């Protein structure tokens, strides 16, 4: 029987079973799972999320992934790209072939997934998957198909519709593409034409030449509307080529293989040019916002943010409506030497201005070769954002590395810079991750007034708040903060630090990276990611501390350090876990001695953030008993449950209609002698859960349903949280 694999979606933070989830149709080589709440896969998630997902994935899921990797470039992948086959059907066919032998094509036909005629037709057009390139000089191109897609989109995306024909009951469009793996463009063309698309590989210059032949006036107008450095070089575009070459001749030479090195290691001249141009940016009237994009520079004006155009949300199952997304601009062209450092700095300023205006808590840049994607996390949900025209992968990498003072190279690192907007000072903490063929930049936007809150504002009940305060007064022991990713652990950590500073305890916080400075706390920053050896050195450098805060536990060495240090002082550490009862198992997974952990564990504070209903448009939303039963509520839980929903208004905006901000849910597990005995014996999370409830712990499920009944949050958030 397949083992469950509870997973938190990187996009909407909903929890679902990835083991039984549907495979996405992006690419057989790197297929991932679809979230049933927002219908997003995690093909473009950050490096850390993907690594964690596959590191913890069950064996059966890894076997399916390896099967799909082996099918990359096969006729099965061509059928997936044509939307004639699902990835899950391909997995079934590959298992059939593995057990019975024979060709994959025969397995697909024998299982009834595709007809022999359709298979042969698709395989004939499999140029993109096999790496061959179409010769567009031969054959006719239907100009009406280009008009159906739009000349402007074909020119901008470097695509050319070739032919349209019927395959069975489906209409198939053959599309020549300079980037045949650009799934977003394929989806966009499918929406515009209502056809299934078969992508074919073709050279960019050949596509542009055919477009000029078919629509000379339209293409000339599009070219004339662009700056000289963006005019494509072509056999018929000699004027544009000469201007591009003239610009390139003034830029430093760079070999193709040096892109990452150049992006991570800006020269002193490049940094100086960025700072000079940013200082020259005028303050746009009437906006008073100002920003500083380099350490030590004067505050600078942010440009007015561009308005975001929301895409209509995709219908989901009852109660769980899908999240809206911003319209994607598609992959950006590779950076050219002609692009100035001022353009790169201006693009980052524009992105930051828009992010701050939309209450974004986290920006995420994803770099895949020369393609760049941008995401905003707002109220816990991730939205794809449209990039400024000047933004490029190499330019954003170079600018972030410079303004955040990140060390050269491709290794993980962290840095920061400050932004001012009016009287508000906002800190931006940058974390860099790299993987083969790309990388991620995560920008945490921190406004101190929202980030450091009193303990009472974190969401615990009066009883739990009293328990937390009593434990924080102890001389030694281990306090563990736990939550899934993106659920406010850093805010809770800093609120505990602020409380202890007011109590005048001698506190040392080892940060990696440091988010906010707390007055009265000794904070030592170690290189990111956290390393247990450096943390030990930081502790040794400041002896005699009453309370020690350690970075998140992500290794056996860090877990050992936390448990060992708890013998002589009070230690506060964090770890990722979905429930308080699962937290001991998460620590023991790092090979910690169970009896030692049991003797030193004092309290576990587990938390979750759920979206808050917008007060401006909140209204009752009757739900039938049948729906409540299908959602797993007991008769007692469903009894007299009043449900509310936000309808969307000007206050909550188009990106998160019906919601405004998030609210914390907490469960506090006190390490009673009975709990300690279970931990020492290696008891299961279920046993610890039952005992902790007998000891008076109020679980997250009860807390969420209480907030639903109070009209604070929705049943959708309850369902997504899998409480």
DSSP secondary structure code for residue 679 in this structure: H
How confident is the model over 644-648, as a mean pLDDT?
Answer: 91
pLDDT digits (tens, 9 = 90+) for 280-311: 333 333 333 334 443 433 434 454 444 333 33
Predicted pLDDT at 1:
56
pLDDT at 317 over 50: no
More confident residue, 363 or 255: 363
By residue range, what is the domain housing residue 481? 452-607+664-698
Tell me, yes or no, whether 443 and 485 share the same domain.
Answer: no
Task: Tell me if 73 is assigned to some domain.
Answer: no
- Residues 333 and 399 reside in one and the same domain: yes
Which pLDDT belongs to residue 177? 85
Residues 557 and 545 reside in one and the same domain: yes
Looking at 280-335, which runs of residues are DSSP E strands?
290-291, 300-301, 310-311, 325-326
> Does some domain include residue 636?
no
pLDDT in tens, 333-356: 444 444 455 667 788 988 998 999
pLDDT range class, residue 123, cuts 50, 70, 90 = low
Q: Is residue 11 part of a domain?
A: no
Task: Give how far Cα 584 sits from Cα of 6, 480, 553, 636, Å.
Answer: 17, 9, 12, 30
507-538 in b/e form (b: 16+ CB < 10 A) is bbbbbbbbbbebeebebbebebbbbbebbeeb
Is there a single domain that holds both residue 370 and residue 518? no
Of the residues 405, 432, 449, which one is the last residue of a structural domain? Answer: 449
Which residue, 428, 449, 470, sits at the end of a domain?
449
Question: Which pLDDT does position 559 carry in this prediction?
Answer: 96
What tens digit of pLDDT does each residue of 162-192 get?
A: 888 776 567 778 888 887 767 678 878 887 8
| Beta bridge pairs of residue 378 | 381
φ and ψ at residue 337, rounded to 5 degrees = -60, -20
| Residue corresponding to tokens 């005699």 | 544
Say what percent of the chain tops pLDDT 90: 36
- C-alpha to C-alpha distance for 641 and 639, rounded to whole angstroms: 5
- What is the C-alpha separation between 677 and 683, in angstroms, rounded? 8
Whether residue 461 is found in the same domain as residue 568: yes
> What are the pLDDT digits (tens) for 499-553?
999 999 999 999 999 999 999 999 999 999 999 999 999 999 998 899 999 999 9
CATH number at residue 675: 3.40.50.300
pLDDT recorded at residue 627: 84
Considering the domain architecture, whether residues 432 and 456 belong to the same structural domain is answered as no
321 occurs within a structural domain:
yes
Domain count, the chain: 2
With respect to residue 201, please indicate whether it lies within any of the assigned structural domains.
no
- Asked if 570 and 686 sit in the same domain, the reply is yes
Greater confidence (450 vs 708) lies with: 708
Those residues with Cβ within 8 angstroms of residue 470's Cβ, 6 or more apart along the chain or in another chain:
none
Does residue 541 share a domain with residue 397? no
DSSP 325: E
Least confident window among 9-13, 275-279, 641-645: 275-279
What does pLDDT average to over the chain? 79
Q: Residues 6 or more apart from 589 whose CB is under 8 A from it? A: none
Residue 572 in any domain: the answer is: yes
Whether 245 shows a pLDDT value over 50: the answer reads no
pLDDT of the residue at 278: 38
At 444-475, the pLDDT tens digits run 999 888 888 888 888 889 999 999 999 999 99
Tokens of 575: 């770890």
Looking at the structure, tell me whether residues 602 and 503 fall in a common domain: yes
pLDDT band at 229; cut points 50, 70, 90: very low
Spatial separation of the C-alpha atoms in residues 340 and 284, rounded to whole Å:
21
Domain co-membership, 337 together with 427: yes
60 CA to centre of own chain: 25
| Average pLDDT score over residue span 9-33 | 84
- Look at the chain and count its residues: 723
State whether 435 and 554 are in the same domain.
no
What is the structure's pLDDT at 89?
84
Q: Is the pLDDT of residue 128 over 60?
A: no
Write down which residue in 420, 449, 478 finishes a domain: 449
Does the residue 67 lie in any domain? no
Give the pLDDT score at 294. 38
CATH number of the domain residue 377 falls in: 3.30.450.90
The pLDDT of residue 534: 94
More confident residue, 566 or 98: 566
pLDDT exceeds cutoff 70 at 597: yes
The count of other CB atoms within 10 Å of the CB of residue 137 is 8
Read off the pLDDT of each residue in 386-407 and give the average, rounded to a whole number: 89
Query: Is the pLDDT score of 272 beyond 60?
Result: no
Same domain as 514, residue 466:
yes
Averaged pLDDT for residues 387-401:
88
Per-residue confidence at 140, pLDDT binned at 50, 70, 90?
A: confident
At 372-385, the pLDDT tens digits run 889 999 998 888 88
Residue 657 lies in a domain: no
């Amino acid at each position: 029987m397949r083992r469950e694999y509870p997973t938190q979606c990187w996009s909407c933070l909903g929890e679902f079973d990835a083991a039984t989830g549907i495979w996405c149709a992006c690419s057989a080589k790197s297929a991932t799972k679809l979230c049933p709440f927002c219908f997003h896969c995690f093909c473009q998630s950050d490096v850390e999320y993907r690594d964690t997902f596959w590191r913890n994935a069950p064996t059966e899921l890894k076997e399916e992934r390896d099967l799909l990797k082996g099918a990359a470039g096969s006729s099965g992948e061509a059928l997936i790209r044509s939307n004639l086959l699902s990835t899950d059907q391909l997995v079934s066919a590959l298992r059939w072939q593995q057990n019975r032998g024979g060709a994959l094509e025969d397995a697909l036909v024998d299982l009834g997934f595709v007809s022999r005629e359709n298979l042969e037709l698709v395989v004939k057009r499999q140029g993109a998957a096999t790496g061959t390139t179409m010769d567009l000089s031969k054959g006719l191109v239907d100009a009406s198909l280009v008009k159906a897609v739009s000349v402007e989109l074909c020119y901008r995306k470097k695509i050319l519709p070739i032919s349209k024909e019927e395959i069975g009951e489906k209409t198939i469009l053959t599309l020549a593409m300079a980037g045949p793996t650009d799934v977003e463009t394929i989806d966009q063309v499918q929406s515009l034409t209502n056809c299934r698309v078969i992508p074919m590989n073709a050279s960019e210059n050949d596509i542009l030449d055919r477009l000029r032949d078919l629509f000379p006036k339209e293409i000339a107008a599009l070219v004339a509307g662009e700056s000289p450095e963006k005019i494509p070089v072509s056999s018929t575009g000699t004027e544009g080529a000469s201007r591009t070459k003239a610009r390139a001749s003034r830029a430093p030479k760079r070999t193709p293989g040096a892109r990452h090195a150049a992006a991570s290691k800006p020269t002193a001249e490049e940094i100086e040019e960025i700072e000079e141009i940013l200082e020259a940016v005028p303050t746009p009237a009437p906006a008073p916002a100002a920003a500083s994009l380099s350490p030590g520079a004067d505050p600078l004006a942010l440009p007015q943010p561009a308005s975001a155009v929301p895409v209509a949300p995709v219908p989901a199952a009852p109660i769980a409506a899908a999240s809206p997304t911003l319209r994607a601009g598609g992959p950006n062209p590779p950076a050219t030497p002609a692009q100035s450092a001022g353009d790169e700095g201006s693009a980052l300023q524009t992105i930051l201005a828009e992010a701050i205006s939309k209450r974004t808590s986290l920006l995420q840049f994803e770099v895949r070769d020369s393609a760049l994607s941008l995401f905003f996390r707002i109220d816990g949900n991730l939205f794809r954002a449209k990039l400024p025209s000047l933004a490029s992968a190499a330019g954003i990498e170079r600018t972030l590395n410079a303004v955040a003072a990140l060390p050269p190279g491709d290794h993980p690192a962290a840095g920061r810079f400050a932004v001012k907007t009016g009287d508000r000072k906002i800190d931006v903490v940058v974390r860099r991750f790299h993987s083969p063929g790309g990388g991620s930049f995560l920008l945490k936007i921190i406004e101190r007034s929202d980030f450091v809150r009193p303990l009472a504002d974190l969401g615990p009940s009066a009883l739990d708040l009293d328990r937390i305060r009593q434990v924080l007064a102890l001389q030694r022991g281990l306090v563990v903060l736990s939550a899934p990713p993106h659920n406010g652990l850093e805010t809770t950590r800093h609120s505990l630090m602020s409380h202890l500073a007011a109590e005048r305890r001698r506190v040392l916080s080892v940060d990696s990276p440091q988010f906010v400075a707390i007055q009265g706390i000794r904070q030592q920053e170690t290189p990111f990611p956290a390393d247990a050896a450096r943390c030990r050195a930081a502790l040794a450098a400041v002896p005699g501390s009453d309370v020690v805060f350690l970075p998140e536990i992500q290794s056996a060495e860090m877990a050992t350090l936390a448990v060992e240090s708890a013998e002589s002082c009070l230690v506060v550490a964090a770890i990722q876990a979905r429930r308080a009862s699962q937290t001991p198992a998460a620590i023991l997974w790092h090979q910690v001695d169970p009896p030692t952990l049991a003797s030193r564990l004092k309290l576990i504070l587990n938390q979750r953030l759920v979206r808050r209903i917008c007060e401006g448009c909140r209204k009752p939303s009757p739900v039938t008993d049948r729906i409540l039963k299908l959602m797993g509520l007991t008769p007692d839980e469903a009894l007299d449950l009043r449900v509310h929903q936000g309808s969307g208004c000007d206050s909550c905006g188009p990106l998160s209609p019906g919601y405004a901000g998030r609210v914390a849910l907490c469960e506090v597990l006190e390490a009673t002698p009975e709990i300690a005995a279970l931990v020492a014996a290696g008891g299961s999370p279920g046993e610890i859960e039952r005992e902790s409830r007998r000891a008076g712990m109020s679980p997250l499920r009860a807390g969420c349903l209480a907030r639903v009944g109070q009209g604070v949050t929705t049943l959708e958030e309850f369902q997504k949280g899998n409480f």
